[in-house]
């Protein structure tokens, strides 16, 4: 429901008072303070035009703000989905297999893990205006950061092994953590978009 600002209300009230005074003058002697009714009517219409323009401008700015907020939330949801899809792709490729370190590096796409962390780091959580959503995004960022650090350690271990391999077990637990965190982000983002769109 639209709620007019105080300046809009004040201007509307002034127009109403002016209309009341003019109507009274017309009823009495067809003039008001020496001015013709037509002159006063013109002034009222001009004030009404200003009121309408101010109302339309305020409505446009409010809609623009809502659209920008909605887009920021959609960007967060899109980032979470992309991160999850990246981990799904890698996890499915390793499913039931043991890969050599070289094959795993190729599967990683030369930095998909690091790219996921970068995408999440670029999100501006302060602009979300939704504490709960910002919290779950921070959780997802933390999960990705922990996995990235663990991945570097695991790869160092693999390099020192006689036949360095990357096992499915390395990725399965990580995938579950990413899935839970990314799902929470997408769920809350969808709820927020629905709530905002209802206004």
pTM of the shown model: 0.60
- Domains of the chain by range and CATH? 6-197 (1.20.120)
Cβ pair 121, 170 in contact under 8 A: no
Q: How confident is the model at residue 196 (pLDDT cuts 50, 70, 90)?
A: very low
pLDDT tens digits along 97-137: 777 776 776 666 556 667 777 777 777 777 777 788 888 88
At residue 7 the predicted structure's pLDDT band, cuts being 50, 70 and 90, is low
User: 147 exposed, middle or buried (CB, 10 Å; 0-12, 13-18, 19+)?
Assistant: buried
| Residue 124 buriedness (CB in 10 A; 0-12 / 13-18 / 19+) | exposed
By mean pLDDT, which of 55-64, 143-152, 189-198 is the weakest? 189-198
């Amino acid at each position: 429901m639209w709620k007019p600002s105080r300046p809009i209300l004040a201007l509307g009230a002034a127009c109403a008072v002016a209309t009341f005074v003019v109507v009274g003058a017309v009823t009495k002697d067809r003039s008001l303070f020496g001015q013709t009714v037509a002159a006063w009517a013109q002034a009222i219409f001009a004030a009404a035009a200003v009121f309408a323009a101010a109302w339309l401008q305020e409505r446009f700015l409010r809609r623009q703000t809502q659209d920008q907020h909605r887009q920021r939330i959609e960007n967060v949801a899109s980032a979470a989905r992309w991160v999850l899809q990246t981990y799904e792709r890698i996890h499915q490729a390793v499913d039931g297999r043991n890969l050599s370190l070289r094959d795993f590096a190729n599967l990683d796409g030369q930095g998909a893990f690091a790219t996921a962390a970068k995408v999440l780091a670029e999100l501006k959580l302060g602009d979300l205006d939704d504490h709960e959503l910002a919290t779950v995004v921070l959780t997802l960022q933390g999960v990705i950061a922990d996995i990235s650090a663990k991945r570097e350690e695991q790869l160092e271990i693999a390099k020192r092994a006689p036949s360095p391999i990357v096992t499915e077990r390395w990725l399965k637990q990580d995938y579950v953590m990413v899935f839970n965190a990314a799902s929470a982000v997408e769920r809350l983002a969808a709820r927020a978009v629905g709530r905002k769109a209802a206004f």
